[in-house]
């Protein structure tokens, strides 16, 4: 990125915080490709006071990122079709208003409305008490403002746009993690990618967990929608998920008192080490897919929350280094990963927005070369009761 245009929007070390900022391809003299604009704005009022948004508009595609919420992705759209979900949380809540320990460790839910939020990095699962430590829901990353935010724009066509953020998770006598996140948009493309690098800055080894909690609702999610992927294993996360085990890959319409169901899955990788999983609507005219490296994110969680529209009708496609069981369960199962001093873990994902039947059919065909849901072995019991995968 040596020849890129580079704009620093936030830098705690340098005392920089641009509250409102914008740039366009025309202003940069880059009129030889797809037009684009990048806008940063600071929100005011209510519980979103001080929250910041960076929106990239490039041709057919728009992506909005929240630097103050761990560089999470608020929403995206393609050809005017919105991808995300309608959470009862209708503001972009600033982390200063979140108390993670409230509601018996479920305070994280008071800000949850993103298309993609990172769970981690010291822990990522459900609340628990382990010895003298209290672990709240899904960790701290999604409620940690970025310490540095940069926009990098390529001078050469197609003028690749990279939004970089530095998220720090540090506690005296405990964790010392730094994560550089990179979201890349290529003007003219119909999707975007992430490339995250988690580094242990401490002088001691430390375990980590990460889940990319990716959440899709209407218009992709509807009655009869289905998940498509090269699934190898599917198991109920707990007893609550057993009633729909026979239709784990299909979705209900909005259902009062549904609550939620979660499935712990493993997916097959291709020769390049990558896999792809998609949510497709009932008519196969809209979809959303996630591609990622299985070696980096070996555990896939499928979250089904087909409650009423007002309560949040949504499903989660969640690649992770682990499942969202409480940390002691993941430790006992051997799924905790450890970073040695100075070591780095990398997580690469791509998100494709499928706005018509042609795009959906191409995605389903692409996934079909790896495998289908019909090839999955469906387990009757949660994996924390039996680790057998024979």
> What per-residue string of b and e applies to 126-139 under the rule 16 or more CB within 10 Å gives b?
bbbeeeeeebbbbb
Locus of tokens 């200063």: 96
Tell me what percent of the residues of the chain surpass a pLDDT of 90. Answer: 96
Tell me how far apart the alpha carbons of residues 384 and 329 are, in angstroms, rounded to a whole number. Answer: 7
Q: Are 197 and 180 in contact (CB under 8 A)?
A: yes
Burial bucket for residue 167 (CB in 10 Å: 0-12, 13-18, 19+)? buried
Q: Which two tokens stand for residue 162?
A: 């990279």
Q: What is the largest CA-CA distance in the chain?
A: 60
Q: What is the helix (H) or strand (E) element at residue 327, kind and residue range?
A: helix 327-332
Q: What is the mean pLDDT of residues 141-152?
A: 98
pLDDT of residue 3: 78
pTM, full prediction: 0.97
pLDDT digits (tens, 9 = 90+) for 180-191: 999 999 999 999
pLDDT digits (tens, 9 = 90+) for 313-339: 999 999 999 999 999 999 999 999 999
Tell me how far apart the alpha carbons of residues 332 and 202 are, in angstroms, rounded to a whole number. Answer: 24
The CB density around residue 32, as the number of other CB atoms within 10 Å, is: 10
Report domain extents, the chain. 5-378
pLDDT of residue 1: 55
Q: How many residues make up the chain in this entry?
A: 390
The arrangement of secondary structure in 5-378, i.e. its CATH architecture, is Distorted Sandwich (2.70)
pLDDT of residue 390: 41
> What per-residue string of b and e applies to 272-303 under the rule 16 or more CB within 10 Å gives b?
eebbbbbbbbbebbbbbbbbbbbebbbbbbbb
């Amino acid at each position: 990125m040596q020849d890129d245009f580079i704009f620093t929007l936030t830098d705690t070390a340098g005392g920089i915080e641009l509250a409102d900022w914008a740039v366009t391809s025309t202003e940069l003299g880059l009129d030889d490709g797809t037009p684009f604009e990048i806008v940063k704005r600071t929100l005011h009022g209510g519980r979103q006071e001080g929250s910041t948004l960076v929106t990239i508009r490039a041709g057919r595609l728009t992506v909005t990122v929240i630097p103050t919420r761990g560089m999470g992705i608020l929403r995206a759209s393609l050809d005017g079709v919105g991808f995300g979900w309608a959470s009862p949380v209708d503001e972009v809540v600033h982390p200063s208003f979140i108390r993670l320990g409230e509601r018996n460790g479920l305070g994280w839910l008071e800000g949850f409305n993103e298309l993609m939020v990172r769970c981690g990095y010291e822990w990522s699962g459900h609340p628990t008490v382990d010895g003298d430590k209290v672990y709240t829901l899904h960790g701290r990353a999604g409620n940690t403002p970025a310490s540095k935010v940069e926009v990098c724009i390529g001078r050469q066509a197609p003028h690749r746009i990279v939004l970089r953020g530095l998220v720090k998770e540090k506690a005296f006598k405990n964790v010392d993690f730094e994560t550089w996140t990179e979201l890349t948009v290529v003007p003219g493309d119909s999707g975007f990618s992430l490339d995250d690098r988690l580094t242990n800055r401490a002088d001691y080894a430390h375990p980590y967990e990460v889940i990319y909690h990716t959440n899709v609702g209407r218009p992709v999610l509807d009655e009869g929608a289905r998940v498509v992927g090269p699934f190898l294993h599917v198991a109920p996360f707990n007893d609550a998920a057993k009633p729909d085990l026979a239709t784990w890959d299909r979705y209900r319409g909005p259902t009062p008192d549904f609550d939620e169901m979660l499935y712990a899955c493993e997916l097959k990788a291709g020769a390049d080490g990558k896999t792809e999983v998609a949510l497709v609507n009932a008519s196969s005219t809209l979809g959303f897919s996630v591609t990622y490296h299985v070696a980096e994110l070996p555990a896939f969680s499928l979250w089904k929350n087909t409650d009423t529209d007002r309560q949040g009708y949504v499903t989660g496609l969640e690649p992770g280094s682990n499942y969202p069981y409480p940390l002691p369960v993941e430790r006992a199962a051997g799924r905790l990963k450890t970073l040695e001093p100075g070591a780095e873990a990398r997580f690469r994902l791509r998100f494709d927005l499928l706005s018509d039947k042609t795009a959906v059919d191409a995605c389903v065909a692409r996934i079909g070369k790896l495998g289908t849901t019909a090839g999955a072995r469906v387990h009757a019991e949660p994996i924390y009761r039996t680790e057998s995968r024979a």
